[in-house]
Structure 1
Amino acid sequence: MASHGSNNETSPGLSRGSIDCWDVCLATGATSTRRIGSNEELIRSMLESYAVACCLCADECEKHAPQHEHYRVCAEACRRCEQACKEALRSLGATRHALIKWRVDGSTRYALCPPSEARGSYAK
């Protein structure tokens, strides 16, 4: 994620999306690697949330990538993390939700829904 600057939309620095993604990353890592017992339902929910956070962060960073190299690097890292979350979810068995992404009035919207309702939208 972008690692410096201010939280200003026109600034080439740190974005709200990357800060949120970082927080979700830390929480997911902590709950997923705890060496005391296991809670697959919680881990699955955390991985789903992390995949959404990565997708949102990457989308935001891609808007600024043509002008700022660190946003391009951030977007690429977020896409890799999103894929890693999806792979980890598959390793836990069938996912309970699919990430759906669509555009409405120029804005990108996201939702989690059961895979049976996704109809291929969760591809990749």
Structure 2
Amino acid sequence: PQCDHQDLVRYLEDRFACVEACEDCVRACARRQGPAGSDDAARLHLACADVCDATSRLLGEQTDQADRDERHVRAQVEWCRDVCLQCAALCDPGPASDTCAQACRRCARACEDFLAALG
């Protein structure tokens, strides 16, 4: 189906918002130090930062060939959203983790918005 100008603008805005949220999440997770002895938490923060970084790079590189790569883009953004939600849930218990949890939730929302723009 043909998309109109407003659809294209929304798609680009949502893609940019997702990239920006991913980059914020990378910074927050990189700064976040898990509780002592929490190897799982540290691994999840690193994984979240890595997935967000890969997602922002993928979306930043997308051109007009997006249709060809839509399945790959969709899978990457869904993965990013899911990892961010897991990371936010892990961060929620402690007030020191609030910045990280908020960044992860913002990123998950931006991913969801972008997926909606994909249709």
TM value normalised by structure 1: 0.61
Q: State the partner residue of 1:74.
A: 100
Of Structure 1 and Structure 2, the greater helix share is in 2
TM-superposed deviation, 1:15: 2.1
For residue 87 of structure 2, the aligned residue among 57, 70, 73 is 57
The one-letter code matched in structure 1 to 2:49 is: W
Distance 1:73 1:91, change over 3 A: same
**Matched position secondary structure for 2:38:** coil
TM-superposed deviation, 1:8: 2.9
The answer to whether 1:8 aligns with 2:34 is: no
Say which structure, 1 or 2, has more relative contact order (CA 8 Å, 6+ apart). 2
TM value normalised by structure 2: 0.63
Q: Is the 8 A contact 2:91 2:101 kept in 1?
A: yes
Of Structure 1 and Structure 2, the greater strand share is in 1
The one-letter code matched in structure 1 to 2:75 is: S
The answer to whether 1:90 aligns with 2:116 is: yes
The percentage of counterpart residues that share the same residue type is 31
* In 2: Cα distance, 1:47 partner to 1:35 partner: 13
* In 2: Cα distance, 1:4 partner to 1:88 partner: 26
The alignment yields a C-alpha RMSD, in angstroms, of 2.2
Please, which runs of 5 or more residues in structure 1 have no aligned partner? 94-124
Number of equivalenced pairs: 86
TM-superposed deviation, 1:30: 1.4
Please, which runs of 5 or more residues in structure 2 have no aligned partner? 1-27
